[in-house]
Structure 1
Amino acid sequence: MRSRRRTLKTVALLAAVFVCAMAVWLWRDPLALVHAEFARQRWVAGLSLRQAQVAGHRWVYAVREADQADAPTVVMIHGFTGSKENWYPLAERLRGRYRLLIPDLPGWGDSERIKGQDYGFVAQSERVAAFVDEIAKRPGSDVVLLGHSMGGGIVALTAADRPQSVARVGLFDAAGVRFKDNRFGTEVLAGKNPFSVEDEASLKRYLDTVFHLDAAKPSIPWPASRAVIDWRKQQAQFEQSVLDRIGRSDERFLPGEAAAYIRQPALLLWCRQDAVIDFSAMDLYAAQMPQASKVLLDGCGHMSIVEKPDEVAAAVEYLINKGAPR
């Protein structure tokens, strides 16, 4: 009996120490649970983190070398309010066969943000071109440039302007054309940020807007949800400044116009249930890119790269190996 009591006391003490350690960990980094999950996904995908100074900014990017030195390099560019971590499910499925480079765009994620700088389509496309030339390009190896949402608009401009640097192009749920009216587009044109997060309700609305599949929505339990909300509130001014450039300025449709100058083999991929960039945008891009193949997935929303990573990976594989998916 006495031995059992000692064991219970020991267990209780260890539990208290664990709770205290967790409290200190979360106090030091309120987003620690989110960072831990990202680290787990990065490990599963075989990625590691690196930094580089490119185009006047410090970039943080995830990288995984290919099993063969001459394999193509796949560069993945995230969208508005996104980050490199959005691409981890796709990276997991492409690992080994290609060299993977997944940066946080300047101004976003862990990369540097400089007060007063322009982070719109044109300025970012020039930075991405510099990243491709300085980090991605290797002799005897093609560069495949993929962009999601805002990143798709950036990639369209980069690929049109740098055909010598980009061998193949993938635009996924890409911004930069005047798609069919929806709530998201109407709110952007009205000067709002449909992705703004101020509380639990708006965080849920944000996730419900970008995801169609409940199973794909990230689980953000308290206290991580509180930390995410606080962090997003801090980003509000920056997000509005970017929307002013990509959604309300005279450059908002430049990617669609530049697409006419993309001659490389290309892939256009959308989800039918995309509530952000309506899938009508795919045909608008296709009209400018007759060489591009179109893939319309069903049962997913704006986050095709998270909700349907197997199908997206198959389309990317075919783009790389055959020029375009069937």
Structure 2
Amino acid sequence: MTYGKLGAALVGAVLVGAAALTASPATADPLPSTTATTTYHHARVDGVRVFYREAGPKDAPTIVLLHGFPSSSREFDTLIPMLATRYHLIAPDFPGFGQSEAPPPSAYAYTFDHLAQTTDHLLEALHLDKYSLYIHDYGAPVGMRLILAHPERLQALISQNGNIYQAGLGVKWEKIAQYWSDPSAHPEVLDAFLSPEATEQRHTFGTSHPERYDPDTWTDEIAHLSRPGQREIQAALLSDYRTNVAAYPAWQAWLRQHRPPTLVAWGANDPSFVAAGATAFRADLPDAEIHLLDAGHFALDEKNDEIAALVLAFMAEHVPSP
């Protein structure tokens, strides 16, 4: 008899649990969160479904995190919670990257002008008229276009291997310059650029702490680059990168004239954007805070805590949170 009552009670508990699982989302209580909780969103911008991460109090100053190649906003996963206790974070995926849509080049022009325009329209859709920019790799030319288009919106600039100087271009850019002159004559340059070996080495080259590097980062990037249409998308962007190099003098002149608060936190062992690209900021921004870190291209893989501390101290001085 006792066993029967226990069995009935268990069945009842299961039924109650099942009812809870099937309850309408509209009636479910919202999950509790803290300001460091990251949420995930999509917005349709310029005809493209653009993905972005968001965290932090919305009434705090905003930092927009712009990712590099061939990653996505996922590269900021470990940094966002450390900044979001005091700042509002927005980290989009550019079209063709991460969780954003990747329409073919016939439907979306993969140029840095267009990536910047789409990013600009996303930020406007989110009603962000003031922000600091954290730029890395491809995020640098996107970010500099945003700055020149809307200089009044910039509160501070943070560059982590976000190059805007000729001196910062590593040896491999000599080969890429040959590709710019005639892409069809140098398919081996694109092959090497997109290869699994290069994708892994962007993370691991120059590190003395390989145990800090999550292999899922580059295996996921390799899988992404292997998707149908990616070769055409990345070929278009690599070809268009020459417009960034041509724009370097204009970007440098703007920094020299306006002198925004600037933090440079640079993985000094990066073979793509070498350490001279970090120290070159000093010529145009004598007051820039420059740190060369014992890390590679994806410095957050290895120096996340250190970079977070630098960003928080820098922001507290120049764009303090309430």
TM bucket (normalised to shorter chain) is 0.7 to 0.9
Change (3 A) 1:305 1:114: same
Structure 1 stretch displaced more, 160-169 or 84-93: 160-169
Given that residues 154 and 255 in structure 1 are in contact (C-alpha distance below 8 angstroms), is that contact kept between their aligned partners in structure 2? no
> Larger Cα Rg: Structure 1 or Structure 2?
2
Change (3 A) 1:216 1:152: farther
Change (3 A) 1:237 1:158: same
Determine which of 140, 143, 153 is the counterpart of 1:152.
140
Structure 1 stretch displaced more, 201-210 or 228-237: 201-210
Query: Gaps (5+ residues) in structure 2?
Result: 1-33, 180-188
Given that residues 55 and 127 in structure 1 are in contact (C-alpha distance below 8 angstroms), is that contact kept between their aligned partners in structure 2? yes
Determine which of 130, 133, 154 is the counterpart of 2:124.
133
- For 1:300, the aligned partner's letter is A
The 5 Å alignment of 1:107-126 reads 107-116=96-105, 117-126=108-117
Query: Gaps (5+ residues) in structure 1?
Result: 1-42
1:226-264 per-residue CA deviation (whole Å, 9 max, x = no partner) reads: x76454233233222211111xx3443414531321422
The 5 Å alignment of 1:54-93 reads 54-66=45-57, 69-93=58-82
Instruction: Report what 2:266 is aligned to.
Output: 270
Structure 1 stretch displaced more, 176-185 or 313-322: 176-185
The number of equivalent residue pairs is 269
The 5 Å alignment of 1:288-299 reads 288-297=284-293, 299=294
1:72-109 per-residue CA deviation (whole Å, 9 max, x = no partner) reads: 11110001211010011111211221111111012211
> Which runs of structure 1 show a deviation greater than 6 angstroms over 4 or more consecutive aligned residues?
none
Separation in structure 1 between the aligned mates of residue 291 and residue 198 of structure 2, nearest angstrom:
31
1:39-61 per-residue CA deviation (whole Å, 9 max, x = no partner) reads: xxxx9962111111223322111
Given that residues 39 and 54 in structure 2 are in contact (C-alpha distance below 8 angstroms), is that contact kept between their aligned partners in structure 1? yes
- For 2:117, the aligned partner's letter is E
Instruction: Report what 1:305 is aligned to.
Output: 300
Separation in structure 2 between the aligned mates of residue 271 and residue 102 of structure 1, nearest angstrom:
21
1:103-137 per-residue CA deviation (whole Å, 9 max, x = no partner) reads: 10122111123323333332222222222222151
- Cα-Cα RMSD: 2.9
Determine which of 207, 211, 214 is the counterpart of 2:210.
214
Task: Using the aligned pairs only, state the percent identity.
Answer: 21
Given that residues 203 and 298 in structure 2 are in contact (C-alpha distance below 8 angstroms), is that contact kept between their aligned partners in structure 1? no
TM-score (norm 1): 0.73
Change (3 A) 1:242 1:212: farther
- For 1:184, the aligned partner's letter is K
1:145-173 per-residue CA deviation (whole Å, 9 max, x = no partner) reads: 11111102221221233122221111210
- Corresponding residue SS for 1:130: helix
Instruction: Report what 2:91 is aligned to.
Output: 102
Given that residues 203 and 296 in structure 2 are in contact (C-alpha distance below 8 angstroms), is that contact kept between their aligned partners in structure 1? no
- For 2:155, the aligned partner's letter is A
Separation in structure 1 between the aligned mates of residue 253 and residue 68 of structure 2, nearest angstrom:
22
Instruction: Report what 2:238 is aligned to.
Output: 243
Given that residues 76 and 101 in structure 1 are in contact (C-alpha distance below 8 angstroms), is that contact kept between their aligned partners in structure 2? yes
Determine which of 249, 254, 258 is the counterpart of 2:247.
254
TM-score (norm 2): 0.73
- Does residue 232 of structure 1 match 2:225? yes
Given that residues 110 and 233 in structure 2 are in contact (C-alpha distance below 8 angstroms), is that contact kept between their aligned partners in structure 1? no
Instruction: Report what 1:166 is aligned to.
Output: 154
